[in-house]
Amino acid sequence: MKQPELGRKISELRKAKGLTQEELVEKCNISVRTIQRIETGEVTPRSYTIKTILTALDYDLDKISDENNNTIKPISTWLRNFILLDVDVNEPSDFLIKQLNIAWIFGISYFILGFLEGVAEYFRLNEDEMVFGSPAYVVIKILVLISFVFFQRGFIVIGLLFRNYLLRITTVILIGANILIIGYDIVSVFYDSIEREFVLVGASLSFAGIGIIYGIALKRLEKSVGRIAEFAGVIEIIAACFFLTVVLSFIGFMVQIPAELAEIIIIFKAIEIIKTKETANNFA
């Protein structure tokens, strides 16, 4: 069920139970502001939030699904939900922590896969050889892309938590750029006519521009998560400068290695901050 119909339905169910918005908050541990925005149709809640509210109202989620079973969810809506553009800072803390846990796990995966990708790219560019074979190359690229997307989703959440909207916007752009470039890398395996060198030059310059802004956005987290954010930001900016030269872009990838580790630590720190605030609220 889409908004505003969903909001009206939840409002009807709440009133039928004789509950105020404040009383519903106590039953489902979601902020009053979030309930208000959902009921007025201002936001489209995530499935987790809908399930939590309906459970508190003793209403079967399947009934909502049945009322919408003939409606195909637009791809744009699914994409916004997947990359957490509609995530609310007032989401339950366990939901936010879950997203960040997913992010650091995939961050480690991305870090490890990066070495395999680096070897594969080196031989492809310098030796014109698929050292692991074409099928393995494609698999590595797909795994790298998946890991990167889930890793960076964590920074969309972090950008929201600490009101760093530059980080949120830049992260989304970075995800989109990686999807395009890695998608191109995969396609170029099967179509030799594609001028890969020219595309890589464009990609290097693009990542240089995005990387500088991304580094600045990370540095802005220093007051929230400590000096590790400044370190990560500075390293990202230095890497971007190497990308800007194009010919030294390979050094940029190596410089990014410590930045990636620092970014994983930033995610851990964000989780600890959420847990600390939740504990403080419980004792307040």
Q: What share of the chain is helix, strand, coil (3-state, %, to 5)?
A: 80, 0, 20
Length of the chain: 284
| Residue 236: half-sphere exposure toward Cβ, Cα within 13 Å | 27
Of residues 208 and 45, the one with the higher pLDDT is: 208
Torsion of CA 77, 83, 85, 88, to 10 degrees: 110
pLDDT at 180 exceeding the cut of 60: yes
For the domain bounded by 5-71, which CATH number is listed?
1.10.260.40
pLDDT of residue 60: 73
- Cβ contacts of residue 239 below 8 Å, gap of 6+? 211, 252, 253, 255, 256, 259
Domain ranges of the chain: 5-71, 93-283
pLDDT digits (tens, 9 = 90+) for 230-267: 999 999 999 999 999 988 998 999 999 999 999 999 99
Strand intervals (E) in the chain: none
Residue 182: pLDDT band (50, 70, 90) is very high
What tokens were used for 130? 């698929």
pLDDT tens track for 74-120: 656 666 666 776 666 666 788 889 999 999 999 999 999 999 999 99
User: How do residues 14-60 score in pLDDT, each as one tens digit?
Assistant: 888 888 888 888 888 788 888 888 888 887 777 778 888 888 888 87
Query: Could you tell me what percent of the chain has a pLDDT over 90?
Result: 47
Residue in this structure with the two tokens 């954010």, named with its chain if needed: 229
CA angle 186, 192, 194 (to 5 degrees): 75
Name the average pLDDT for the chain.
85
Classify residue 177 by its DSSP letter.
H
CA distance 169 to 167: 6
